[in-house]
């Protein structure tokens, strides 16, 4: 994959998003051919006609297994002039959900030799099983994270996994991410489910729900939507429900009370034009700030009893505006706020140094918050500078252990990393949810020597110095 990446960069395609997008198109071409090959093999074994074909009799030369053996000039002309238009015109009902995002596909590969080299290299990558394909695409997206182009970067994989572990998805959940980006939360949730519930692939009902019905996402950037859809497909999620558009807008107001679980890291891009925001969100909280509007959106999109794990900037926890307090009251008094994990400010470096927290809450519409669990995370296994090198200090395993065994009837001391705060105390503090408001510091008692003893020692030292000076003078 490094060699593929280098071929693009050496020939002038230097935007990481564009490189990943072009590789995604090529992987999609290969995927369509693999599906047709599998259908043909099944038909040969059973003696039945082929059930589904993407390529008609006159389109056989558009298949990966055919054009990969063409000379470079012919391959370039066929892929540019025929395969790409074929992808853009692919019927979504025939070609899966991904075909919708190929309509705007643009061919950017600069010359025949580059296409030939890249097609040859991709053909050599073993992609027979789901894990290999998923690892391959995660590696590509890691290059996007390294580049951080145009502010596009992923939530760290280990933070996503931490949040998924906290909410423990089940095979019957309906999982949404209204700010899906590269679909990292949906992919990791899928990995968690296959790891914890292997029967998903053995039962027809669970397998169908997993591939078509469990995973939903929203994203307003078409490039990220294409990359995210490919990421899901490479991880074996064939038919996710991915909606293009701003999840906060009136255009997406039909996506309400759909999910039993939301996992998200919404953008904190400031303020929106009030006219663009869905009316029911303004009813819940009167603000233009996206981080507050997304919290209201999560509650609207969850089914009753649905739960959410999301990342918010620290300002949401203690902001003094009416809107900030209104959102916190909504979470605490109107629903059930269960936990807050305060994360160190370096988690999103080198792209952002803002302090963030993870909120865990359940939609109840009738309150239910009794005690809020706090955890003071000081380390996440990586250095908290721009380099983000692996280090030994890591609070995540301890945090997960403390979360899953938490018991409000036996609250630990507030000097510990994990502790409970009763809801009445939070109300008395003006609904302030910053951990520093409630955590107690540990003060060590320091015993100092008697000042007279210190002075006696200093006088003794001075006498020694004077004696040494007299000796030195005698030597001179």
Digit-coded pLDDT (tens) for 252-266: 888 899 999 999 999
Instruction: Write the CB contacts of 292 (distance below 8 Å, at least 6 apart in sequence).
Output: 285, 316, 323, 324, 327
Higher pLDDT, 265 or 274: 265
Contacts 24+ apart (CB under 8 A), 422-430: 422/370, 422/371, 423/332, 423/369, 423/370, 423/371, 423/372, 426/332, 426/372, 427/332, 430/325
Q: Does 355 score more than 50 pLDDT? A: yes
Q: What are the CA-CA distances from residue 462 to residues 108, 294, 438, 459 (Å)?
A: 80, 69, 50, 5
The CATH number assigned to the domain with range 152-437 reads: 3.40.50.150
Domain 2-125 has CATH 1.20.1260: yes
Domain boundaries of the chain, sorted by first residue:
2-125, 152-437
Higher pLDDT, 286 or 395: 395
pTM (predicted TM-score): 0.82
Q: Does 391 score more than 50 pLDDT? A: yes
Q: What are phi and psi of 313, to 5 degrees?
A: -70, 150
Q: What pLDDT was estimated at residue 453?
A: 87
Point out which residues pair with 54 in neighbouring strands: none
Average of per-residue pLDDT across 130-150: 67
Q: Which of 18-22, 211-215, 225-229, 254-258 has the lowest mean pLDDT?
A: 225-229
Average of per-residue pLDDT across 454-463: 90
Look at the alpha carbons of 298, 405, 382, 191 in this order and tell me if their dihedral is positive or negative: negative
Q: What pLDDT was estimated at residue 230?
A: 80
Q: SS3 of 156, please?
A: coil
Q: Strand (E) positions, 314-447?
A: 336-343, 356-362, 371-376, 380-382, 390-394, 418-422
CA distance 293 to 256: 14
Q: What pLDDT was estimated at residue 95?
A: 45
Task: Give the count of beta carbons closer than 10 Å to the beta carbon of residue 277.
Answer: 21
């Amino acid at each position: 994959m490094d060699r593929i990446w280098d071929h693009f960069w050496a020939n002038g395609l230097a935007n990481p998003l564009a490189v990943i997008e072009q590789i995604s198109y090529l992987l999609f071409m290969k995927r369509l051919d693999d599906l047709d090959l599998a259908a043909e093999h099944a038909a040969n074994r059973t003696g039945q006609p082929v059930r589904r074909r993407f390529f008609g009799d006159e389109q056989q030369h558009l298949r990966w297994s055919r054009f990969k053996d063409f000379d470079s000039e012919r391959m370039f002309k066929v892929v540019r002039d025929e395969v790409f238009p074929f992808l853009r015109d692919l019927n979504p009902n025939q070609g899966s959900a991904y075909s919708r995002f190929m309509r705007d596909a643009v061919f950017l590969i600069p010359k025949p030799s580059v296409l030939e080299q890249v097609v040859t290299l991709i053909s050599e990558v073993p992609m027979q099983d789901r894990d290999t394909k998923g690892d391959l695409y995660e590696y590509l997206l890691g290059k996007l994270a390294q580049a951080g182009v145009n502010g596009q970067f992923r939530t760290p994989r280990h933070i996503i996994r931490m949040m998924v572990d906290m909410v423990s998805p089940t095979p019957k959940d309906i999982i949404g991410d209204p700010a899906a980006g590269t679909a990292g939360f949906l992919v990791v949730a899928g990995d968690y489910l296959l790891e914890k519930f292997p029967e998903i692939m053995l039962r027809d009902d669970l397998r169908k729900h997993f591939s078509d019905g469990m995973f939903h996402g929203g994203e307003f950037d078409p490039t990220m939507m294409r990359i995210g859809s490919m990421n899901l497909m490479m991880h074996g999620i064939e038919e996710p429900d991915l909606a293009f558009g701003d999840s906060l807008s009136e255009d997406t107001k039909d996506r309400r009370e759909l999910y039993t679980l939301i996992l998200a890291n919404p953008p904190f891009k400031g303020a929106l034009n009030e006219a663009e925001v869905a009316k029911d969100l303004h009813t819940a909280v009167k603000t233009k700030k996206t981080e507050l509007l997304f919290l209201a959106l999560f509650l609207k999109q969850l089914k009753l009893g649905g739960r959410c794990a999301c990342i918010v900037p620290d300002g949401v926890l203690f902001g003094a505006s009416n809107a900030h307090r209104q959102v916190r009251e909504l979470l605490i008094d109107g629903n059930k706020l269960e936990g807050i994990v305060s994360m160190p400010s370096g988690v999103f470096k080198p792209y952002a140094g803002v302090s963030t927290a993870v909120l865990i809450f359940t939609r109840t519409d009738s309150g239910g918050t009794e005690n809020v669990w706090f955890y003071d995370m000081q380390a996440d296994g990586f250095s908290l500078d721009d380099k983000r090198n692996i280090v030994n200090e890591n609070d995540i395993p301890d945090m997960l252990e403390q979360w899953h065994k938490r018991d409000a009837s036996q609250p630990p001391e507030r000097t510990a990393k994990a502790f409970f705060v009763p809801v009445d105390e939070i109300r008395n503090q003006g609904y302030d949810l910053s951990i520093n408001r409630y955590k107690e510091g540990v003060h060590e008692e320091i015993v100092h020597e008697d000042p007279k003893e210190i002075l006696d020692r200093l006088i003794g030292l001075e006498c020694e110095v004077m004696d040494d000076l007299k000796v030195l003078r005698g030597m001179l």
